[in-house]
């Protein structure tokens, strides 16, 4: 079984400041890792994912996350945030085993609030 | 870009009534899922569905819940006798492989 811990439930930052949203996971097997974003009153959108290869993955809107196997972490970072980044961010994992029907296991989410 | 479509976006129902939440997954995807998110809490897995049968279900998915793929395009979640604690946002998702899941925009179910 897998579990995901997002240590910060809320992160307030000022516009143009850097931000890091932390995610740690626990699993007895190798996993794929995902970050999803949920804007107010909307559904879940895939932000980025780590499947294999380079441990640093990037999204089209400036976010990046680095897979650290030894620390079982997949922290999300952005060097300079915008007001429009205000949203809830969910880290999720799924087992590499079991084929395409494996479920995602989510963390509790981190609410990022960007203030002017 | 292909989307997962969910209807309705919001449903209010009386306790004890049956509800059916509808989803149209991405057409070439093979794996289908329902998740729910109680207000302020994390997203929880309910059930996965492949090849016209349930692959896995959580302990939340008890006898009151059922899923069906009645035709080649729709995927439904039925709650037979709703309870107050079933109030949540329900997300449908589909995937073609291990590489990621596409979620719908959700149905907010309010049981009164």
Q: Could you tell me which chain B residue has the CA closest to the CA of A10?
A: B40
Calculate how close chain A gets to B35, using CA atoms only, in Å. 9
Residue B85's alpha-carbon distances to A88, A106, B2, B9, B81, in angstroms, are 23, 20, 32, 19, 11
Residue B41 has a pLDDT of 86
| Residue B44 near chain A (CB below 8 Å) | yes
Res A101 pLDDT > 80: no
Q: Could you tell me which chain A residue has the CA closest to the CA of B89?
A: A43
Q: Rounded to whole angstroms, how far apart are CA atoms A10 and A41?
A: 17
Which CATH number goes with the domain that contains B98? 2.60.40.10
Residue B72 has a pLDDT of 78
- Of residues B4, B49, B47, B53, the one with CA closest to residue B27: B4
pLDDT over 70 percentage in chain A? 97
The number of folded domains in chain B is 1
What's phi and psi for A84, nearest 5 deg?
A: -70, -10
Instruction: Check B98 against A107: CB less than 8 A apart.
Output: no
Stretch A71-94: mean pLDDT, rounded? 96
Instruction: Check A101 against B45: CB less than 8 A apart.
Output: no
Stretch B2-15: mean pLDDT, rounded? 94
Asked if omega into A104 is within 30° of 0 (cis), the reply is no
Quick one: fold of A2-115?
A: Immunoglobulin-like (2.60.40)
Stretch A87-106: mean pLDDT, rounded? 87
Q: What is the pLDDT of residues B28-69, one digit of tens each?
A: 898 999 999 998 888 999 999 998 899 999 999 999 999 999
Q: Rounded to whole angstroms, how far apart are CA atoms A2 and A111?
A: 22
């Amino acid at each position: 079984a897998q579990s995901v811990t997002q240590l910060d439930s809320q992160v307030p930052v000022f516009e143009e400041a850097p931000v890091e949203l932390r995610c740690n996971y626990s699993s007895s097997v190798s996993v794929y890792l995902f970050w999803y974003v949920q804007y107010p009153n909307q559904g879940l959108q895939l932000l980025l994912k780590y499947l294999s290869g380079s441990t640093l993955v990037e999204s089209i809107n400036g976010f990046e996350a680095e897979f650290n196997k030894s620390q079982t972490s997949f922290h999300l970072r952005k060097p300079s945030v915008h007001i429009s980044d205000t949203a809830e961010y969910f880290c999720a994992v799924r087992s590499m085993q079991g084929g395409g029907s494996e479920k995602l296991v989510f963390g509790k989410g981190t609410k990022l609030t960007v203030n002017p | 870009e292909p989307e997962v479509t969910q209807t309705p976006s919001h449903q209010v129902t009386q306790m004890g009534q049956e509800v059916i939440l509808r989803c149209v997954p991405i057409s070439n995807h093979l794996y289908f899922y329902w998740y729910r998110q109680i207000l302020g809490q994390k997203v929880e897995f309910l059930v996965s569905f492949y090849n016209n049968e349930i692959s896995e279900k959580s302990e939340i998915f008890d006898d009151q819940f059922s899923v069906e793929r009645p035709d080649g395009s729709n995927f439904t979640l039925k709650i037979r006798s709703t309870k107050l604690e079933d109030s949540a946002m329900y997300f449908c998702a589909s995937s073609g492989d291990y590489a990621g899941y596409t979620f719908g925009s959700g149905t907010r179910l309010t049981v009164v």
